Every structure is written in C-alpha cells, then in structure tokens.
Amino acid sequence: MRRSSLLKVASAAAAVTLLAGACGGGGGSAAPTDTGGGGGGGGGGDQTLKIGYVLPETGSLAVLGPPQIQAVKFAISKINDAGGVLGNKVPDPVGGDEADDQAVAAQSADRVLAAGVNVIIGAAASGMSLAIIDKITGAGVAQCSGSNTAPTFTDYNDNGLYFRTAPSDALQGPVLADVIVGDGHSNVAIVARADDYGKGLADATAKALEAAGIVFIGPNPKAIAAMGDKIESKKAAAAAKVSTVPGHLGVIADEKEAVKIANDIGYPVMIKASAGGGGKGMRIAWSEKEVAEGFARSRSEAKSSFGDDRMFIEKFIVDPRHIEIQLLGDKHGNVIYLGERECSIQRRRRCLMRRRAGRGASSRSRWRKPSATTPPAPWSSSPGRPAASSSWR
C-alpha cells in the first residue's frame, strides 16, 4: 500500500506539471464529471487514482479556469496513454468551482472530497487555496496548484500534502528586479493587480529594486507593507496626526479581550481582519454575544482567506458617507489631492458603485477635508477646492 500511495502522488505531480505547462493555452468550459466510487483520503483499498479540481469557472478569475481544466484532462489522457497507474486507467476528473468566493470554494472542496479523490488540483487564487487547504490536506488528500504564488505556502503546515508548480512571489520579485536592472533601467514604476496575483509580486519586486539602488517611482516597500496591514496603517495615520475611526490599535488575543475592548469603545463596533480586504474577515457587532461570535468567525475567515488571523476592533459608524480623496506625494514633501469619489453604495462591505463625490455635502464639511496647507492639483479652480467641486452642489 505504501508503494501504491507513492505512485499515486507521483502520478498526480506529473499531472500538475502538465497542467502548469498548459495554463496559458485556450480551452472551452468543462463540466464537472462525477466519477462516483469511494476511497477518499488516499483511496483506501481502491488502486485507481482519482483526480479532482477546484478551479474558477465563475467569478473574477473565470478566464483562468477553462485552460487549467482542459490541462487536467490532457494530463489524465497522457497518463492513460502510458498505461494508467498501477494498471488502471485514471477516470475523468471530479470538478468544483472556486468562484472567487471562499464559501463556494469550500463547498466545492467538500463535494470533490466526497467523491473519493486522491488529489485535488487548485485553487487558482492563493486566497482561495488558503480557504480550502486545511480541509483537503486534513483529509489526507494531496493538493496541487499550478498558479499559487503567495509566500504563505512556503512553510504552511500542510502535512506534506500541498504542492505548487508556480514559484513564490518572494522568488519571482528578485528575478524580475534583476531583469529590470540588467536592461539598464534606473527609474522604475510598478503597476500591479490589487489581488493575490499583484500585491505580493509588486512588494517583492519593489524591495529587490530598492536593495539594488534603483529609484522606485511609487510607494516604497515600507509604505506598501504598512498600507496592506490595517493595524499598521492606522498606527501610521495616528502618528501623522490624521483623524481615524476610534478603536483599538493593536492585535486582539481572544474573544474575552474582544468583548472587553468593545465595551470600552461602545456599541456598535466593527470587528476587522488586519490583513486582506474585499469585506472578508469583517463583522458588525451590537452586543457582547455578537462580539464573541463575530470575533471567532472573522478570525477563522481571515486565517483561511489571508493566512493571517490578526484582528482589531473599531467603532462602527452608522449610515456613513464613504468619501475617498485621492492623494499624490513625493519624498520631498510635495503633496497634492486629485479630487474625490463616493463609495457609499455597498453590499457586504464591498463597494458596488463609485461616483463623483459629494452630493448633498455641506460646504463647511467639504472645506474641512483637505488641509489648508495641502496644495490643490494644478487644474483646480482655486486653492482649497479640487477640480471636482461641482459634484458637491
């Protein structure tokens, strides 16, 4: 049995290698096929290798799903052409959708595991893999991804059952920086996706460029790290004497401490994950009971989504106006603001619509926002008034 288990994992690794090579190709949608049969957690006494996947068929990364699904099928066909595994053909994969939603990804993982698979390919996004890795590896099933790049997985406690064929951002960043330096560039700006695929790579590349003495046009690595961590960003804002929502600027250890802090702040409160975004790891609480329950749930959600379960609590502002002001500054102390936008229309704490800001805002509250010492953008009509002033009327 030990030999057969090793052969199954080796075959799965071969499948993922083929998958990685085909990720950039085309392919149509693939409907999940239930193979039936049991065996779970390594297949039990069944000598047939069963492969499943949890990959994006819907959601923001749906474009990545079809080629990876076709790659899984192609890998299975090549394994079967070579005689299968232990003399048995590998059946069609059992599929599930990660959908850019950790709840959906978890349900898909449960369904695929119930089919008795030995290995699951996916998820495509690092955040979605973090949402299901404990469930999969905890069941004794191997998990392989051809596209996870978050450094979190490097030393993750996965029982030796998680594999990936894409290098970590911590490895890709320095290589990309070497290429930039080798091409003779001395002033560099980085534009990256604001998700699992962009943030880590941008940060690692910026650090490597700074270490190489390159003039980096954009936030320095320290600023990027601080702004990606809500606790640290609020501390930085407080140190700069910028007004922030009242709350506890530190990591909260457990539910008991959370309740004490919430009572001190006053209800309602917002429980927040320090890492990540997109409304995940956040709960509103109106009582001690809701704080205790919400803290535990938010902490678990943050751990599975971001690999970071640090939590904090701040006052929840009822019926707020969410106005964002765009700022641009340099290391010489020059700062301008570029107008405003309103993000008050939200669902599940995620912005649904952005519009020109300020409808109904009083002139007094509007004039209070930017500091009198902050110069307007060059195209503003007058000092203290951004160009978008008409949107406030």
Rounded to an integer, what distance in angstroms lies between the CA atom of residue 347 and that of residue 336?
Answer: 31
Q: For residue range 85-124, what is the model confidence (pLDDT) as tens digits? A: 989 999 999 999 999 888 899 999 999 999 999 999 999 9
Rounded to an integer, what distance in angstroms lies between the CA atom of residue 234 and that of residue 139?
Answer: 39
How does residue 198 score in pLDDT terms, banded at 50, 70 and 90?
A: confident
Rounded to an integer, what distance in angstroms lies between the CA atom of residue 132 and that of residue 111?
Answer: 12
Task: Tell me how far CA of residue 378 lies from CA of 147, 337, 338, 339, 385, in angstroms.
Answer: 43, 10, 9, 11, 11
Q: Is the pLDDT of residue 223 over 50?
A: yes
Residue range 233-255: average pLDDT?
Answer: 88
Averaged confidence pLDDT in the chain: 79
How does residue 26 score in pLDDT terms, banded at 50, 70 and 90?
A: very low
Instruction: Say what the pTM is.
Output: 0.62
DSSP percent split of the chain into helix, strand, coil, nearest 5 = 40, 20, 40
- By the 10 Å C-beta count (0-12 exposed, 13-18 middle, 19+ buried), 107 is classed as middle
Q: Is the pLDDT of residue 77 over 90?
A: yes
Rounded to an integer, what distance in angstroms lies between the CA atom of residue 184 and that of residue 176?
Answer: 13
Alpha helix ranges (H) inside 240-315? 255-265, 288-306
Helices (H) and strands (E) in the chain, counts: 11, 13
Q: For residue range 129-181, what is the model confidence (pLDDT) as tens digits? A: 988 999 999 999 999 999 999 888 998 999 999 999 999 999 999 999 999 99
Rounded to an integer, what distance in angstroms lies between the CA atom of residue 361 and that of residue 178?
Answer: 49
Top-confidence residue, 280 or 131: 131
In the prediction, which pLDDT does 374 show? Answer: 47
Q: For residue range 346-363, what is the model confidence (pLDDT) as tens digits? A: 766 666 666 665 555 554
Top-confidence residue, 267 or 343: 267
